[in-house]
Amino acid sequence: MNDGRLRFEILGRVRAYRGDEELDLGHVRQQAVLALLLLHAGRPVPLAQIVHTLWNGDPPENGDDIVLRYIGTLRRILDPQRTALLAHTDDGYVLRTGDNAVDTGVFRAALDRARSEHQTGTHGDGTQEVRAVLDRWQEEPLSGLTGPYFESARARLKEERATASQLLAKPILATPAATAPATTPAATPAPDHAEPVDPWAGHDLFPPDWSTLP
Return the closest-CA partner of residue 5 out of 23, 22, 18.
Answer: 18
Q: What is the Cα–Cα distance from 134 to 150, expressed in whole angstroms?
A: 20
Helices then strands, each counted (H, E), the chain = 6, 5
84-138 confidence digits (pLDDT tens): 999 999 999 999 998 789 999 999 998 898 888 888 887 778 888 888 888 888 7
**Burial state string for 191-200 with b = 16 or more CB within 10 A and e = fewer than 16:** eeeeeeeeee
* Beta-bridge partner residues of 89: 92
pTM: 0.77
Q: How far is CA 207 from CA 197, 200, 201, 204, 213, in A?
A: 21, 12, 14, 6, 12
Please, are residues 10 and 97 in contact by the beta-carbon 8 Å criterion?
Answer: no
Domains in the chain with CATH codes: 6-95 (1.10.10.10), 103-169 (no CATH)
Q: Is the pLDDT of residue 75 over 70?
A: yes
Q: What is the Cα–Cα distance from 96 to 112, expressed in whole angstroms?
A: 22
Cβ partners under 8 Å of residue 39, min gap 6? 10, 104, 153
133-169 confidence digits (pLDDT tens): 888 887 899 999 999 999 999 999 999 999 999 988 8
Return the closest-CA partner of residue 144 out of 39, 23, 13, 42.
Answer: 13
Q: What share of the chain is helix, strand, coil (3-state, %, to 5)?
A: 45, 10, 45
